[in-house]
Amino acid sequence: VTTNGTVPERNENNKNSSLAVLQHGLEVLNEITPEDDGNEEIRRLDSQLDHLNHYMDKVEERIKAHNEKLMDTLKHQREEREKRRRSFHEVRLFLCN
């Protein structure tokens, strides 16, 4: 500490500016309430869920269409096997007689 008091004034100015910065930071934090911050997060997550649901609906439609095509193919193959089986038995009966 000097006799002319410059060091104490500098410390006082530093304290005042630090307090001003701290006060400003607290005011900014108080402007954004926890409810607002939580609501924004909820809106963001809700939007992500909407996009995910839309995507899953499209995936489900594609799977359903693919499943229908697969079932049609299996039905057609089953019918073809049955035709071959009948034809085989008819030929066999014809040859046996």
CA distance 24 to 16: 12
Q: Across the 97 residues of the chain, what is the mean pLDDT of every consecutive 10-residue run?
A: 54 74 75 70 92 96 98 98 90 78
| In a shared domain, residues 59 and 87 | yes
Torsion angle in degrees (nearest 10) through CA of 36, 39, 45, 51: -110
CA distance 79 to 73: 10
Taking CA 21 as the corner, what is the angle to CA 20 and CA 23, rounded to the nearest 5 degrees? 65
Does the model's pTM come out above 0.85? no
Q: What pLDDT shows up at residue 1?
A: 47
| In a shared domain, residues 50 and 23 | no
Q: How many domains does the chain have?
A: 2
Q: What pLDDT shows up at residue 92?
A: 80
| In a shared domain, residues 44 and 14 | no
Q: How far is CA 33 from CA 23, 37, 39, 47, in A?
A: 16, 6, 10, 21
Q: What pLDDT shows up at residue 22?
A: 74
Q: What pLDDT shows up at residue 5?
A: 53
